[in-house]
Amino acid sequence: MPISYIPYFPNTIEGQAILDNFTRTARLLRYRDNDRVIDRIKRGLPLYEVEKLETVGTSDKATSGVLLRGECLSACAYLKSQNTKIDLVYIDPPFASGADYAKKVYLRRNPHVADMIQKAEEELDLDELRAFEEKMYGDIWNKEDYLNWMYENLLAIKSVMSETASIYVHLDWHIGHYVKILMDEVFGEDNFVNEIVWCYSRPSVSNQKHFTKLHDTLFWYAKNKDEGYSANMNSVRIEYSEKTKERNKYGSGGSKYSGNSTERVTHDEGKIPEDYWYIPMVVGNANENADYSTQKPEALLERIIKASSNEGMVVADFFGGSGVTAAVAHKLGRKFIHVDVGINSIQTTRDRLLALGANFEVLEVKDGVSLYRNPQQTMDKLKSLITGLRNEDALDSFWEGAISDSKYGKMPVYVPNLLDHNSKVLDIPLMNRILNEAMPDLDTDIKRVVVYYVDITDSQEIEKFIRNHNPTTIEVDLRDLKELLSEVVIDDIVSYELTETGEGFEVEITQFISDRLSQKISEYNEKRKLGKSQKDVVTAIDEEETTKPKSKFKPIEISENGLELIEWVSLDCTNADGAWKSDAEIKIDKLGYMVLNGKKTKVLWDAKIQSAEKPLRLKIRNIAGDESVVLL
C-alpha cells in the first residue's frame, strides 16, 4: 500500500474541481473510459517507500543525479515529497507501436579457456552461436488504455515542473496525433512552442506499398510561457552545409548552386536549426552504442538540453531507457533524474554514467511492481506460477483463465496487467468494474472468483465495498500476487575464493550457477533446433536447394563452471549491509574484455577481482541482468 497520496496540485480546497488547476476544464479528446482516470487524479499520486540501493562516485563531490527504478507516477510522488522541481523534461515513452522489444543477451568468454577459444571464435558468428534474446517490454496497447495512462503521466510530470520549465514528448505516427491533443489539454494550446521532426535513415524494403517512414515527432511545450520560460531558452547554432556555405560566399546571384538560400544567416557562420532535424540513428560501431532497444542518439538530446536549460538545472527523463538523457545532461553540466521501471535500463545507465565519472544515487520505489527485472517478464511468468490455472475459451478476456476447486468448482481468475497502471492498484473504481461489469456476465454455476493484486489502496475498505455493492451471489477471494512471485525470484549460486595478497585482497569466482538462465538457454536451443528442422524440410522440397550444403545446428552450451554467464562483478569494502558502495568493479563486455572501474581495457577477464581494502560483500550481475549479493 502507498504511504499516502499526494495531491497533483497544491491548494485544492474541499469542493474545488481538481481540473480547475488546468488551462481547460473539459476533456477535449473523448474516448471510452476517459472519465475513469479522473477518480485516480482526485485521489492523488501514490507515495511509496523508496530504498537507496547504491551510491556511485566519490563522496567529496556533490551528487549530480538520481537513478530511480519505478513508474512515472510513483517517481513524481517521491520527487514532490522531496520538494524537487524539474527545469526540463524529455520523455520517449512507448509509441503504442504493437511491437515487442528485446535485449540481445551475449554469453561471455569463459575466462578459464579464453585464450584457447579466442582464435576459434574469430571464425564463428558470435551473434548466431553465443547470443539469445530476452523480452524487455511489449509496446502493445489498447488505444484507450494508452491515452488514459499517458494523460495521467503528463499531469504527474506537470506537477513537478518548475514554472519556467519545458517538456519535449517524443513519439511517432502511431499515437502522436492523439497525444498532441492531450498535451493541448494538460499544458494549454497557448503553451505549445514547436513540433519538431527528427529525420533519420535506414534501409527500405523493396516491395513495400507505402512511402518509407523515416521520422519521429517531438512536441515541445512550456509549462507557462507567461512565467518566462524563455529565460531558459538558449540560441543554438548548427553548422551550415558545404552547399549553403557556397551560397553565402557567392550570394544568390553568383552561387555555383542554383536557387536561393532559405537558411537563416547569423553572425557566426552558423544557423538556428529549423523544426526538422536530420540526426543519424545510433549504429552498431558507435562509441555511444549501449546495445539497448529504442536507444536515441546523444546529438538529439544535446540539442534539446542546450536549447532549453542552463548549467546546474535539473533535467529529467521518466522513461529513461538507455540513459542518453542522463548522460548528455551530465556532460553539459546539468543535474539529471533518470526514471525507468526496467532493471536493464537502470543497470545500463548506471554503467554508462560511471564511465563518465558522474556522482549519483540509485533508488528503488518499493511499490511491488518491480517484482522481476521488468513488468513484461513478470507477466510472462504469471500463468505458470498460479497453480492449476488454465485457459477457458468460454470466459471473457477480462479473466486470465480459471482454477478448478473441489468445493467451488470452476473459479475465474483475474490477474492485473502489470503493463497498465490503471489495473495494477486494486482500488474502488477497479473493484466496482469487477463487481458490476465482469462478474454479472459469468455463468450461473460460478460460485467464486479469484482476484489477484500487486497493490491495494485499503484492504478493509475494498472488502467492505464488496459486501455492500456485490450484485451477485459470487464470492470474491482477494490474493496478493507479491507472495506468489517472491517464491520464484531465486538468487544465482556463487562459489568463490578470497585471498590476501601483498597489495590487498583478491576474490576469484570458481563457479556460477543460474537455474533461470540455464532454463532460458535450453528453451532457446529447443526453439532453434525445431526451427532449423522445419527449415531443412522446406529446403529439401525445393529442388534447386537440395544440392546446397545445410548448416549444422550448434546449440549454446554452458561450461561446468558457468563463468560465461557473468557480466559484472563488484566488491563493497565499505558497507556490510544497506546501500551498495562499489569500491572495485569489473564489467565484462560481449567480447570478454574488462571494463575496470568504468575504464575500457583490452585485457580478457581472468575470473578475479582485486581491492585494496578487505571486501565485505560481493555482487554479481548475470548477462540477463539478475543480481546476487554474497556476504564474504
CA distances from 366 to 47, 78, 343, 347 (A): 10, 11, 14, 18
Q: How far apart are CA 115 and CA 111, in angstroms?
A: 8
Cα–Cα distance, 565 to 107 (Å, whole number): 6
Residue-wise pLDDT for 495-510, tens only, equals 999 999 989 999 999 9
In a shared domain, residues 71 and 34: yes
Q: Compute φ and ψ for 408, nearest 5 degrees.
A: -100, -10
Residues 393 and 416 in one domain: yes
Q: Are residues 355 and 382 in the same domain?
A: no
Quick check: is 252 in a domain? no
Is residue 161 over pLDDT 70? yes
Please compute the mean of the pLDDT values over residues 177-191 and round it to a whole number.
91
Asked if 163 and 81 sit in the same domain, the reply is yes
Spatial separation of the C-alpha atoms in residues 329 and 353, rounded to whole Å: 11
Which is higher by pLDDT, 487 or 17? 487
Report the relative pairing of strands 409-414 and 360-365 from DSSP bridges: unpaired
**CATH number of 204's domain:** 3.40.50.150
Rounded average pLDDT over 256-284: 64
Amino acid at 552: K
pLDDT at 537: 47
Number of domains the chain is built from: 3
Q: From the centroid of its chain, how far is CA 176?
A: 19
Cell of 83: 520538494
Residue 82 forms part of a structural domain: yes
Q: Is residue 81 part of a domain?
A: yes
Shared domain for 481 and 497, answered yes or no, is no
Q: What is the H or E stretch that residue 148 is in? A: helix 143-159
Express as a percent the part of the chain with pLDDT over 70: 75
What average pLDDT is seen over the chain? 81
- Which residues, other chains included, contact 517 with Cβ-Cβ below 8 Å and sequence gap of 6+? 492, 565, 622, 623, 624, 626
Q: What's the pTM value of the predicted model, to 2 decimals?
A: 0.79
Structural domain of residue 202, as residue ranges? 4-99+139-232+290-365
8 Å CB contact between 596 and 468: no
Q: Which residue has the higher pLDDT, 217 or 28?
A: 217
Is there a domain that residue 270 lies in? no
- pLDDT bucket at 578, cuts 50 / 70 / 90: very high
pLDDT (average), residues 362-386:
73
Q: Does residue 526 lie within any of the structural domains?
A: no
Are residues 33 and 147 located together in one domain of the fold? yes
Of 334, 365, 396, the domain-final residue: 365
| Kind and range of the H or E run holding 520 | helix 515-541
Round to whole Å and give the CA distance between 74 and 468: 31
Torsion angle of the four alpha carbons 206, 210, 214, 218, in this order, in degrees rounded to the nearest 10: -160
CA dihedral sign of residues 310, 314, 317, 323: positive
Q: Which residue has the higher pLDDT, 2 or 316?
A: 316
**Over residues 611-619, mean pLDDT:** 96
In a domain, 596, yes or no: yes
**3-class DSSP state for residue 96?**
coil
Are 456 and 483 within 8 A, CB to CB? no
232 pLDDT more than 60: yes
pLDDT tens by residue, 291-310: 787 889 999 999 999 999 99
In this structure, the answer to whether residues 443 and 499 fall within a common structural domain is: no
Taking CA atoms, 155 is separated from 212, 370, 440, 589, in Å, by: 34, 23, 34, 40
How many residues in the chain?
Answer: 632
- Do 319 and 407 lie in one domain? The reply is no
CB count within 10 Å of CB 247 equals: 22
Measured between alpha carbons, how far is 586 from 610 in angstroms, rounded to an integer?
10
Given a cut of 60, whether residue 268 has pLDDT beyond it is no
Instruction: Choose from 14-18, 281-285, 567-571, 626-630 the range with maximum mean pLDDT.
Output: 567-571
For residue range 507-564, list pLDDT tens digits in order: 999 999 988 788 778 888 888 777 765 555 444 444 444 455 556 677 888 888 999 9
Better-predicted residue by pLDDT, 15 or 234: 234
Answer whether residue 507 is part of any domain.
yes
Report the distance separating Cα 227 and Cα 532, nearest Å. 63
- Grid coordinates in use for 339? 526514471
Residues 446 and 509 in one domain: no
**Cell for 134?**
530476452
* Residue 317 in grid coordinates: 527523463
Cell 546476487 belongs to: 628
Residue type, 508: E
Whether residue 459 is found in the same domain as residue 352 = no
Q: Which CATH number covers residue 504?
A: 2.60.40
Neighbours of 276 (CB within 10 A): 11
**CA-based R_g, the chain, Å:** 27
CATH number where 444 lies: 3.40.1340
Last residue of a domain, one of 329, 345, 365: 365
Distance, in Å, from the CA atom of 620 to the CA atom of 631, rounded to the nearest integer, reads 12
314 shares its domain with 380: no
pLDDT of residue 262: 38
